[in-house]
Structures are given as C-alpha cells and as structure tokens.
C-alpha cells in the first residue's frame, strides 16, 4: 500500500456507486472501500440503490450505521436512493447531486478497487487542464471458458476506449471527473441505458478544453460474464451503445457480421485453425480458450450486430439532466 504522505494533492473526493440488486457483491465491495489508502477524512462514498428488490438497501443502511458509530476510523458511507428511473446513469446523477467533493470518482458494485485505486486515480488532477482521469480495469480470476475468453481479449481494458477513433473515453467502472464540469456541461442522460460513459466524456472533451488522462496504476478488478447467455447480453449492449452513440454524436456504426463472412470464418477455423490449435493444445502450448476463440468471436460479433440492428434511441433518452433542475 502506498504512503499517501508522499502526495501533497489530496482533495475531497466523492465516490459514486450505482447499485441494482447488489446483495452478493456488497460485502466484497465494502471491504475494498475500507482498505483504500486515500485518507478516510478526505473521501465520501455515495452508494445509490437503484430500486433493488433484494437486501441491498438493508445492507447499505447497516454498513452506514456501523460507520457512524466508529467515526474515528471508519469510512464515510452514505446510502442514497434512485427509485424513479431504472438506469445506472440516473443513479449516478443522484450521487453527483449529493456529492461534496472536488473530484467525483465512479465505479460499480461488481468491481473490486485495489487499495491504492483512489490515491493513483486522483494524482493526474494536479494538472489544471485535466478534467477526466480513467483508471485501468483488469479481470477478477474466472473459471469458465467465457470468463477466460474475456480475460484473453482484455474486453474491459480502458486501452480500447481510450484509443477510440472518434474520441477517447473512459468507462464508469473506473473514472473520475472534476465536479465543476457537471455544472458546465450537465450530468449523465438519465434515461440512457448504455453508452453513457462515452457520451459524458465526449461532451466534455468536444465541448470544452478539458483533457483526459490515463492512470494505469489506478486498478479496479471487474468480474467477467461467467455464462454464454451473459456474454451475449454484454455484447448486445455494446451494439445498442453503438446505435445510441451514432444517433447522439454521429459516430460511425460498427460493421455488421454477414452470413457469408460468418460461414467463411467458421470454415477457415474448422479446416485450418482448429487442427493447428488442437496439436498445440495437446502439447500444452494452447488452452481451450485458444481452441474456441474464433467461434466465440463470431458469437460476440453476432450479438453486437443484433443489438445495433434492433435498438432505437428513445426521445427521452436524449435528454441531459442538469443540477439546476434537480436541486
């Protein structure tokens, strides 16, 4: 764990975490928050229950009560509610509205921030031109072929989003933004269901002079999808995001997978890639994931194609929320 005394820049930070049915994730998440090396006196944790139907609210209230009894050593934990709009972006807006920090950091309930996460995430803000900082997202160890595939592809790594050809952005699983910027450009679009992280970053970077920086040592671990159904759902959401961002910002749509290309790729895999990979697998040079990579690639591509083709941005999802409207 780093010694925060080596850093002179330690502003008040508000950590906003939207939660929907997070009963199983909350114990590990709260443990990670308590282990943060960033001074507890300089950070508040705003955990927003987004209309959960499990014990999320009960767990949050119990954790907050426990923290209030041990003020000298406990973290400052504040449970909030967003029950009107079922959207993680609406929940984040609720957290932003209540935040007191100079910097607002975001992560998710199924993430596991490493102890020096906040300390490393905040330091790039010493540069006055920096308005957004993205930390890195790495995989929690998984056992299924679907988790191992996502790990092999580094599906959630910020290096993909920061290299976006239209405009860089960071995912809200590990992102920090100066709080003053939300007064300047507005909040998240509350009715948007996916793509809101790119949207907020692009509005900031394209409408203002603020810069984005990468903090590779600000690590958050994230659990990959463990079943085929979950993996396909994830990639359908990527397709939906493509469609929404196309309508909101004019970004080029992702190329769709055609039947002809799918058949060609499968044939090539069966006749060429599979025999070679099978031999290397027998000698321990390849794994099952390497063996199945091409068909899984096609499954994900097809799911993204379906999501992009079938989705349509609603009129209300285009609306941007503003602090002046919420207060």
Q: What is the pLDDT of residue 128?
A: 96
CB burial of residue 327 (10 Å; 0-12, 13-18, 19+): exposed
pLDDT in tens, 256-315: 999 999 999 999 989 988 888 787 777 776 788 888 899 999 999 999 999 999 999 999
Q: Where are the domains of the chain?
A: 4-225
Q: What is the pLDDT of residue 40?
A: 94
Q: What is the pLDDT of residue 6?
A: 65
pLDDT in tens, 150-204: 888 888 899 999 999 999 999 999 999 999 999 999 999 999 999 999 999 999 9
Q: What is the pLDDT of residue 141?
A: 80
| pLDDT above 90 as % of the chain | 79
pTM for the structure as a whole: 0.91
Quick one: pLDDT band at residue 250, thresholds 50, 70, 90? very high
Sheet of strand 211-222, all strands in order from the earlier edge strand to the far edge: 76-81, 43-49, 13-19, 103-106, 175-178, 130-139, 211-222, 111-113
234: pLDDT strictly greater than 60 = yes
DSSP line for 200-229: HHHHHHHHSS-EEEEEEEEEEEEPPP-SHH
Class of domain 4-225: alpha beta
Q: What is the pLDDT of residue 19?
A: 98
């Amino acid at each position: 764990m780093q010694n925060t005394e080596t850093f002179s820049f330690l502003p008040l930070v508000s950590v906003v975490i939207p939660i929907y049915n997070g009963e199983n994730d909350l114990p590990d998440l709260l443990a990670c928050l308590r282990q943060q090396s960033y001074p507890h006196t300089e950070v508040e944790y705003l955990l927003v229950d987004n209309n959960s139907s499990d014990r999320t609210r009960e767990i949050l209230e119990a954790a907050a009560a426990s923290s209030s009894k041990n003020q000298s050593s406990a973290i400052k934990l504040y449970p909030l509610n967003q029950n009107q709009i079922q959207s993680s972006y609406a929940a984040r807006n609720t957290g932003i509205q209540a935040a007191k920090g100079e910097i607002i950091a975001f992560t998710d309930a199924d993430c596991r921030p490493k102890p020096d996460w906040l300390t490393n995430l905040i330091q790039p803000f010493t540069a006055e031109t920096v308005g957004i900082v993205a930390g890195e997202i790495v995989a929690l160890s998984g056992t299924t072929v679907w988790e191992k595939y996502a790990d092999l592809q580094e599906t959630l790594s910020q290096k993909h989003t920061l290299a976006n050809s239209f405009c860089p952005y960071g995912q809200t699983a590990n992102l920090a933004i100066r709080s003053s910027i939300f007064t300047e450009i507005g909040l998240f679009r509350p009715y948007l269901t996916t793509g809101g992280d790119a949207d907020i970053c692009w509005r900031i970077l394209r409408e203002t002079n603020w810069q984005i920086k990468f903090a590779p040592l600000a690590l958050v671990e994230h659990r990959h999808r463990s079943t085929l159904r979950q993996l396909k759902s994830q990639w359908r959401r990527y397709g939906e995001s493509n469609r929404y961002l196309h309508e909101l910002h004019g970004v080029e749509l992702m190329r769709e997978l055609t039947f002809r290309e799918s058949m060609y790729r499968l044939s090539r895999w069966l006749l060429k890639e599979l025999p070679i990979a099978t031999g290397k697998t027998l000698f321990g040079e390849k794994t099952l994931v390497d063996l199945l990579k091409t068909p899984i690639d096609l499954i994900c591509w097809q799911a993204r194609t379906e999501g992009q083709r079938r989705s349509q941005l609603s009129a209300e999802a285009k609306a941007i929320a503003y602090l002046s409207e919420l207060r």
